[in-house]
Amino acid sequence: MGTMNTKEIIEGAEAALIHTYNRYQIVLEKGDGVRLYDKDGREYLDFGAGIAVYALGYNNKEYTDAVTEQAGKLIHTSNYFYNEPAVKAAQAVTKAAAMDRVFFTNSGTEAVEGAFKLAKKYAYLKDGSTDHEIIAMEHSFHGRSMGALALTGNRHYQEAFGPMIPGVRFAKFNDIESVKALISDKTCAIILETIQGEGGVYVARPEFLKEIRSICDDLGILLILDEIQCGMGRSGSMFAYQQYGIKPDIVTVAKALGCGIPIGAFLAREEVAAAMVPGDHGTTYGGNPLACAAAVKVFELFEKLHVLENVRRVGAYLSDRLEQIVADYDAAVAHRGMGLIQGLELSVSPKDVIAHALENGLILFSAGTNVIRFVPPLVITERDVDECIGKLRKSLDAVL
């Protein structure tokens, strides 16, 4: 098979793929460090990391070697057998999250599905009823499969796919009274992102999260934290909730867990995890040795490369630079975030700014309707931030 040029690839994609994305007219070919290269050799500084996935940056040799070595041994086993990488990955992720047990999935949305089922099963074992409710947040994002979609507080995503799974009620993020107003004796769980990502980078206020935790404790309701985007070091701690002094009952992880190889997980404390027994849940690929070997190496490299320290230091630096942009540009109205998940809210759509930045070799994603999102690889340096801010300012000057 011959290789395809940029035009052939783009035309081929538009002819053969179901049209669920409007893509940039760029064909990415390889990456190195925090930079990506397209098929025509153009270089991009990457502040998107494949949507908060590539925490270690591109072409990390130790990571690639670990994946390659495992691929040469065994990629898949089915869950009727044990495999060593899955056990090592389970030990690493439960330790990092301070949870007791884990179930591995292939994606974020599947992790949310599993968490949703676990919460329902736990409540069912307690009172035998099957009409439990779950409280989720407006402007949340939990994934595209039917369960996760039902929990996603965005009518636009749900509209055509009704009816949604019943029993989901939506409260306002960071508004404790709106949560309290929805609680009933049917409530089995409250689910939220510790830092809302897709919704526009909104950080849970400490009082809000702590109060939810204490309501859950008082009423025997499970707290599910979706850390698929903000977890795995992005907030400056391994999981964002660790900076709040609370623990969820169930936590979902994905995106950076495999740093590129698809893997997700839901974790729970022992008593909750015990609600699931053989037959309740399963997956063909989940927990396969290839994806788990990648996750094991990710945890090793996080320690070796002092990723958390880097996130805290460079995150603070990025934060200062974005504050300065808010001070300098009328159309930059607010800045939010933690560690290396940050957002710059504009008074206009960020679409043109992002397109202009892309033309100048900087990859940025949006979030919500009017937020530029910064979710770079967690190994970026202050110099990369300087370059990003320089390019961003140029784009703001050109577009606004």
Dist CA 57 CA 173 (whole Å): 32
| CB contact at 8 A, 55 and 377 | yes
Interactions with ligand PLP, residue window 123-142 (CB under 6 A) = 141-142
Only one residue has tokens 């990648």, namely 294
DSSP, residue by residue, 115-133: HHHHHHHHHHHHH--S--E
Contact flag: residue 302 with ligand PLP (CB under 6 A): no
Q: Minimum Å distance from CB 77 to ligand PLP?
A: 22
Is residue 228 close enough to count as binding ligand PLP by CB under 6 A?
A: yes
Q: Give the pair of three-digit tokens for residue 111.
A: 């992790």
Burial of 257 (0-12, 13-18, 19+ CB in 10 A): buried
Of the residues 107, 187, 235, 310, which one makes contact with ligand PLP according to CB under 6 A: 107
CB of 198 to ligand PLP, least distance (A): 6
- Of these, 83, 109, 242, 370, which contacts ligand PLP (CB under 6 A)? 109
Q: Is residue 151 part of the contact set for ligand PLP (CB under 6 A)? A: no
Q: Verify binding: residue 342, ligand PLP, rule CB under 6 A.
A: no
In the complex with ligand PLP, the residue whose CB is nearer, 3 or 22, is 22
Residue 254 as a binder of ligand PLP (CB under 6 A): the answer is yes
Peptide bond between residue 163 and the one before it cis (omega within 30 degrees of 0): yes
Q: Does 194 bind ligand PLP (CB under 6 A)?
A: no
By CB under 6 A, tell whether 143 contacts ligand PLP. Answer: yes
The nearest distance, CB 262 to ligand PLP, in angstroms, is: 7
The answer to whether 32 and 236 are in contact (CB under 8 A) is: no
Instruction: Pick the stretch among 75-83, 101-109, 124-132, 173-181 that binds ligand PLP (CB under 6 A).
Output: 101-109
For residue 132, count CB atoms less than 10 angstroms from its CB and return exposed for 0-12, middle for 13-18, buried for 19 or more.
Answer: buried
Q: What's the token pair of residue 211?
A: 């109060």
Query: Least distance in Å: CB of 255 to ligand PLP?
Result: 6
> Residue with the closest Cβ to ligand PLP?
108
Q: Which one of 193, 249, 345, 384 is in contact with ligand PLP (CB under 6 A)?
A: 193
What gap in Å lies between CA 265 and CA 108, rounded to an integer?
A: 7
Using CB under 6 A as the binding rule, whether residue 395 contacts ligand PLP is answered as no
Tell me how far, at minimum, the Cβ of 17 lies from ligand PLP, in Å: 17
Rounded CA gap, 116 and 105, in Å?
14
Burial of 399 (0-12, 13-18, 19+ CB in 10 A): middle
Among 194, 229, 235, 310, binds ligand PLP (CB under 6 A): 229
Does 112 interact with ligand PLP (rule: CB under 6 A)? Answer: yes
Nearer CB in complex with ligand PLP: 143/377: 143
Q: Cα(first)–Cα(last) distance of the chain, in Å?
A: 46
Q: Which of 103-111, 209-217, 312-320, 356-364 is the region at the interface with ligand PLP (rule: CB under 6 A)?
A: 103-111
β-bridge mates for residue 252, sequence order: 226, 266
User: Residue 307: in which H helix or E strand, if any?
Assistant: helix 307-328
- 345 is a site residue for ligand PLP (CB under 6 A): no
x/- track of binding to ligand PLP for residues 70-89 (CB under 6 A) = --------------------
Position 197 contacts ligand PLP (CB under 6 A): yes
Biggest CA–CA distance in the chain, Å, is 64
State whether the Cα torsion 283-289-295-296 is positive or negative.
Answer: positive
Q: Can you say how many angstroms the Cα of residue 62 is from the centroid of all Cα atoms in its chain?
A: 23
Binding footprint of ligand PLP, residue count (CB under 6 A): 15
User: Among 48, 50, 108, 286, which residue sits at the site for ligand PLP (rule: CB under 6 A)?
Assistant: 108
| Pair of tokens at residue 239 | 């999981």
Two tokens at 166? 């019943």
Tell me which residues touch ligand PLP (CB under 6 A).
107-109, 112, 141-143, 193, 197-198, 226, 228-229, 254-255
